Amino acid sequence: MAQRAAALAARGRPAGLAVILVGDDPASSVYVRNKVKDCEESGIRSTLDRMPADTTQATLLARIAALNADPAIHGILVQLPLPPQIDAHAVIEAISPAKDVDGFHVASMTGQPGFRPCTPYGVMKMLEHAGAVLKGAEAVVVGRSNIVGKPQAMLLLQADATVTICHSRTRDLAAHTRRADVLVAAVGRAKMITGDMIKPGAIVIDVGMNRDAAGKLCGDVDFDSAREVAGWITPVPGGVGPMTRAMLLENTIEAAERAAG
């Protein structure tokens, strides 16, 4: 990606990412700091707009409109969550699909030309790297959020996997997870997927980011028991998170390349 960014800069068309952070949520501040650092290391020009927690929706939408019209900006990222007075859906839909490098716009969710959502895209890259044969495979996604669960299912379907989406009201969750060749856990409950719920040799992707009773970071999968059964498994932290950030850079560079022709 650094090579591609350098090629754009050499043409006088450097890739530009605008990041907007509303409020002072500590976790969001860490995420944003890491994203800006990634841009610096990759040769992508980034700007960071810090807006106070009492920012109105109209003010934020006006800022997005200005960035949509700025030819030097190829990607716009509004860090979630947003303060309660702001409708996140309205904000996401206000970002031009051509600059929606998070891949949250409805165009991306429905398979129209756009950008793949960063976390599901990163998961697909990990599956590719592991040599997973997805055509005809049984894939189970636990979680149905618009950010991970639903788009993850769509990408797996596009890869010709047979996909089941499970959620909090699924009856006998283990019956579904035990038949999965690929299991993606994205439900947001610490260690809820245990080793006895996993098919031997399965690929287990843990998207969760939680804290256990001791305050230690952990995923949705009980790593210690799952690793004894799984063929491949991602750790938390250090698994899906870095891939999400990498795919943000990938989408930003792709947006800049499209704009440059």
User: Which residues, 6+ apart, have CB-to-CB distance to 184 below 8 Å?
Assistant: 123, 139, 140, 141, 142, 143, 152, 156, 205, 207
Strand stretches in the chain, DSSP E: 16-22, 45-51, 75-78, 138-142, 162-166, 182-185, 203-206, 210-211, 217-218, 232-233
* This prediction's pTM: 0.91
Res 238: pLDDT: 93
> Active-site residues: which are they?
35, 79, 102
Q: Please, which residues bridge with residue 211 across strands? A: 217
One-letter amino acid identity for 222? D
- Give domain limits for the chain: 2-101, 118-241
Q: Is pLDDT at 113 greater than 70 in this prediction?
A: no
Same fold, 2-101 and 118-241: yes
Q: Which residue has the tokens 């031009």?
A: 96
Token pair, residue 250, equals 């990938």
Per-residue confidence (pLDDT) for residue 104, from 0 to 100: 87
Class of the domain covering 2-101: alpha beta
Is residue 28 very low, low, confident or very high in pLDDT (cuts 50, 70, 90)? confident
169 to 144, 146, 165: CA distances (angstroms): 11, 17, 11
Selected from 3.90.1520.10, 3.40.50.2300, 3.30.210.10, 3.40.50.720, the CATH number assigned to the domain covering 118-241 reads 3.40.50.720
Reply yes or no on whether the pLDDT at 87 is more than 80: yes
Averaged pLDDT for residues 158-174: 96
Average pLDDT of 63-83?
A: 96
